[in-house]
Structure 1
């Protein structure tokens, strides 16, 4: 470890003794989060059950303050401004933090505000991915994948392993050329619309909607079906998933009911 600038001029040949290092230890993230959790709970916040990194506080006036933490990145939002100001002061007294202003960038997500609502996208992440894969000058594609494509145990040359999403990621242990072409298709789709994202619009509709669907024996390898669902809260998309079912469905009705159960859960 190199001494800090100006240390040698002041202290000569003396050295610093490192008593304890936070970063690099396996238990450091757990120890940090446990201490942070205890402190936030003392401020009157309740830890979420579905997401342990989220803390919520409801005031007697019916207002809400929400805190979300990921490692050492924190989002603070709500409609009780005095409480938000007080919490920031309390956090600063116990932890070394820096206020970065309104949320603009968080974990690869870009956030833009307007009078109509909030736009969330991953434009920078998509462009960086295209640059890393040398696909910045590729021909754009209108769709991310051919809807009629069926991957199976076909013969073909093995290619270098690559990470991607959903359907393609199922063949990461032994990817073939057809899988690589599918990944290129996804990258070409990102090229056509790197700034496409989710728009959370302000509105008067306070309802919740969920949509589910499933194919039947869509996998040509194990004949298992794939469940799909998405959920809208106040007209805005908040959750979505596509996952292969654990067992083989004996009928299309069974596959649909399993998908519906996943979506409701």
Structure 2
């Protein structure tokens, strides 16, 4: 279902339509009405009712129209804008309801010897994989940038799952014919218990009449506090320990629980996203129900989308990919219609800091290379190229930028690439490594690379100088 705007009495509202026919007029430049389905294009008509409008008859691609429609999904930047829309008002009320339910704070007199931290509303429209609206989310965040170390907070570090661990878990599930499931903790940071004494102002738009001078004393964390991630990790880690889970010695976010000699449940957490699998359906169901009872949870069912990666589970394999992300990169950097190439880099070309080709846009180059580095989550085939280009983040040349764009041209021809983990394959750990000899033109240092596969697919790789 695609969401497009239609004109309302006091603005534009978003309503679902399968396809749209676009009409233009000077008085109404963006009016959308429902029309019959067409295959890949939308017919745009000139408004003949206006004699001075000579817009010619032409065809527009459906994707171009949908891109413009997305512009109508505007996220408010401040409370005054959000207060004009019932959807955002409801989202703010839901956020405060969760805070109250969690017993996150208590209204108290303003302290004279403590700093009171301000809060603000942050608004975000969450989209589904197909671009449709999933949820309008309002988040109350603390202005943590005013916190003072040693007074308002102490430690802030909190671990997250490594991608190597996630891929290993997926490979294991594929080999053992297990299903992967996902849970999402609603407002996870609000569950973290604070060790420090912290006060915040009442949120804008929800100041209690007659108690304007009072503030909230926090017992649990708010988003934006510097110690919020650590407080949440401490809470979930403590809960897992009470439930009989054993934490991995090498991965602080990986937990296992066994029953008898053969049954096992494996859980990996990435902030508020929880991925779990195992060979005992009863243990899986018990874990899900226990988590729902302890925290506000969203049961996402089978794992389909995680950290920007698409996950396709079938009876014979598990496939992970970043096709949507890769396609978005091509659009972002203007290479949607480019001609693809067969390899990421020119094999005989040597890159160096001083190549005399002139300076490139440093900001654009960093955006492009950073995007390529994230693409390596499921694309080891571009790991070497992305790692090589990352050496020139400071002062890139036009030659470097051209090489980076060539990698995108390679991605254009390999959008469907990803990692395929087969079920039932023999459990064998295989590693490959290689290195050149003084390959760097700038400092004669060598570049080393490795890749490890477990069962049927690669799960860990790197390319470093």
TM-score by length of 2: 0.49
Native 8 Å contact 1:139 1:188 kept in 2: yes
Native 8 Å contact 1:208 1:235 kept in 2: no
List gaps (5 residues or longer) in structure 2. 1-78, 84-88, 94-206, 370-385
For residues 126-141 of structure 1, the aligned pairs below 5 Å read 126-141=326-341
TM-score by length of 1: 0.83
Cα deviation for residue 235 of structure 1 reads 3.0
Asked if 1:178 is matched to 2:399, the reply is: yes
- Secondary structure of 2:298 counterpart: coil
For residues 39-78 of structure 1, the aligned pairs below 5 Å read 39-78=239-278
Equivalent in the alignment of 2:99? none
Q: How many correspondences in the alignment?
A: 241
Counterpart CA distance in 2 for 1:19 and 1:96 is 22
Match of 2:356 among 155, 166, 171: 155
Equivalent in the alignment of 2:453? 232
Native 8 Å contact 1:140 1:189 kept in 2: yes
Counterpart CA distance in 2 for 1:72 and 1:175 is 37
Equivalent in the alignment of 1:169? 390
Cα deviation for residue 12 of structure 1 reads 9.5
Equivalent in the alignment of 2:437? 216
Of the two, which has the highest radius of gyration? 2
Equivalent in the alignment of 1:241? 462
Counterpart CA distance in 1 for 2:236 and 2:388 is 38
Cα deviation for residue 15 of structure 1 reads 7.8
Counterpart CA distance in 1 for 2:211 and 2:248 is 45
Asked if 1:199 is matched to 2:420, the reply is: yes
Which has more strand, going by share of residues?
Answer: 2
Counterpart CA distance in 1 for 2:348 and 2:314 is 39
Cα deviation for residue 203 of structure 1 reads 3.1
Equivalent in the alignment of 2:229? 29
Cα deviation for residue 187 of structure 1 reads 0.9
Query: Structure 2 vs 1, CA of residues 182 and 14 (structure 1 numbering), >3 Å: closer, same or farther?
Result: farther
Asked if 1:190 is matched to 2:411, the reply is: yes
What do residues 14-61 of structure 1 show as CA deviations (whole Å, max 9, x unaligned)? 789654461111110111111011101211112223322211222223
Counterpart CA distance in 1 for 2:462 and 2:225 is 34
Counterpart CA distance in 1 for 2:439 and 2:224 is 44
